[in-house]
Amino acid sequence: MGSTGSVLILSAWSSVAINIDDVAVYPDQSDFITSTYIIPNGKNSETDSRGVSNYFDCDVWGRLKAVYDQDKNVVKKIDYQVKP
């Protein structure tokens, strides 16, 4: 089996300081999701390789309360009922 190499050249010019937080390099036929977490509550957000984000709200016990789309519209709301 042979292998082929790849070359990545990344250049950026700016008249002001810029910060680059994350860079993802992946094949065309792949997909990925990055997630952020707030400890101890759980997942706070996720963003897919197309740049589409979802946001999550958890209660004090870490249970999912709501899911929001990238425009912060409620997509799903969860109400937990406590039995007396």
Closest CA to 72 of 59, 50, 58, 55: 55
Q: What's the whole-model pTM score?
A: 0.65
pLDDT, residue 14, reads: 86
Using CA atoms, how far apart are residues 34 and 46, in angstroms rounded to an integer? 5
pLDDT, residue 53, reads: 95
pLDDT, residue 7, reads: 77
pLDDT-flagged residues of the chain (< 70)? 1-4
